[in-house]
Amino acid sequence: MKTLKTSLSKKDVLSIGDLSAREINLILTFASKLKREQKNGKARLLLRGKTLGMLFQKPSTRTRVSFEVGMYQLGGDAVYLGASEIQLSRGETIEDTARTLSLYLDCVTARVYDHKDVQTLADWASIPVINGLSDAFHPCQILADLLTLQEHKKKLKGLRLAWLGDGDNVCNDLLLGCAKMGISMTAACPKGYEPIEKVVRLAKAEGEKTGADIAITDDPVAAAKDTDVVMTDTFVSIGKEGERATRETIFLPKYQVNSGIMKLAKKEAIFMHCLPAKRGMEVTPEVIDGKSSMVWQEAENRLHVQKALLCLLMKAV
C-alpha cells in the first residue's frame, strides 16, 4: 500500500509533464519534511549504498552541487561525469553510454544541450534519468519554485504568476507546473521568443482542468498587473551566447523586471529567478537584492526537492 501511494508513475523525470499533480504534491510534501529534518540535524540515510551519476554537457553551480550534496546527506554517493571527460567526447553513443552507466549506477541526472539527448539516455538506461536542464525543460527548478511559492503563500491553487522575458526551458516547465497546480500564469515574451507551442497547448489543456488561466503575450505590463509573483530568467541561456547582442536589443528595456514592474504586481508580491542572474539585464539590483526577492530560498529548495525526487525514483520511501 505504502509503495503504491509513494511511487511515481514514470521511470524518468525529463519534464514537469512527466509528473501528475498528485506526484508533484507528494514530492513537495516529502521535500518539506526532509528540509525540516535537515534543519533539525536529523540525518535520513535513505539512499545508503546508492550512487547517482551526474552527466553534465554544460556548466552548473546549483544543480551540480545540490544533487551531489543531496546524495551525501541521504547516505549515498555521487559521481560527476563531465561530458568532455568520458568516452562520449570521443564518439561513444549515448545509447551505449546509457547501457554502461546502468550497470554501475542507481540513477542519473543529465544536463544536456539538446533535449533529444536526455530522452535517448532515458530510453536506453534501465535506471531512472532526471533532466538536470536541457534546451527545452528544467523540471527540478520548477519543483523548487513550487515549494518556495507554497512556503510563502501557504497555497498554490489560485495564485497568479507573471513571467517576463525569454520563453525558455524554465518557462516551458513552469507553464506545465503552474497549469497542473492551478496557478494562473501569463508569460510576456518578445515575438519569436515564446515558449514551445506544443507545451503551451498542453498547459492550456491542463489549466482548463484545474482552473488556471494560461496565457502568452508580448505585453509585460499587462502580465505583471495584480500578480502574486513575478519571475524571470537570463535573456541569454547557455548555448545562446552568440545571440547575446541581438537578444539584449530585443529584450531591453521592455522585458526587464524593475521596481516599476514590481509596483504593478500585488503589494505582497514576490520576485523569483532560477539564477544565475545578470543584474541590470533581466532584473535590476533593487529587485533581486530587495525585500520581495526569494531567490536564495528558491536556490536552497533545489536541494530539498531533489532529495525527495531521488528517494522516490530510487524507491527508498
- Per-residue x/- marks for ligand NVA, 124-163, CB under 6 A? ---------x------------------------------
* Binding residue (CB under 6 A) for ligand CP from 35, 62, 247, 307: 62
* Binding residue (CB under 6 A) for ligand CP from 274, 283, 305, 310: 274
| Residue 142 C-beta: closest distance to ligand NVA, Å | 11
* Binding residue (CB under 6 A) for ligand CP from 57, 120, 134, 141: 141
Residue 25 to residues 29, 39, 147: CA-CA distances in angstroms? 6, 21, 9
Residue closer to ligand NVA by CB (options 61, 259) is 61
Q: How far apart are CA 255 and CA 5, in angstroms?
A: 42
Instruction: Find the part of the chain contacting ligand CP (CB under 6 A) among 47-55, 219-227, 271-279, 281-289.
Output: 271-279
C-alpha cell, 122: 532515458
Cβ within 8 Å of residue 115, ≥6 positions away: 14, 131, 134, 135, 136, 137
Residue 186 to residues 167, 171, 274, 280: CA-CA distances in angstroms? 11, 10, 17, 23
Residue 10 to residues 17, 47, 90, 174: CA-CA distances in angstroms? 10, 19, 31, 19
Give, as one character, the DSSP assignment of residue 279: B
Cβ-proximal residue to ligand NVA, closest one: 237
Query: Using an 8 Å Cβ cutoff, are 55 and 111 in contact?
Result: yes
Query: Is 22 annotated as catalytic?
Result: no
Q: Please name which of 307, 300, 239, 296 lies closest in space to residue 271, comparing C-alpha atoms.
A: 296
* Binding residue (CB under 6 A) for ligand NVA from 148, 150, 169, 210: 169
3-state secondary structure of 7: coil
- Per-residue x/- marks for ligand NVA, 5-44, CB under 6 A? ----------------------------------------
| Residue 54 C-beta: closest distance to ligand CP, Å | 11
Options 18, 117, 145, 233, the catalytic residue? 233
Instruction: Find the part of the chain contacting ligand NVA (CB under 6 A) among 43-51, 101-109, 164-172, 286-294.
Output: 164-172
Cell match 546549483: residue? 62
- Residues assigned a catalytic role: 111, 138, 141, 233, 274, 302
- Residues at the contact surface with ligand NVA, assessed by CB under 6 A: 133, 168-170, 233-234, 237-238, 274
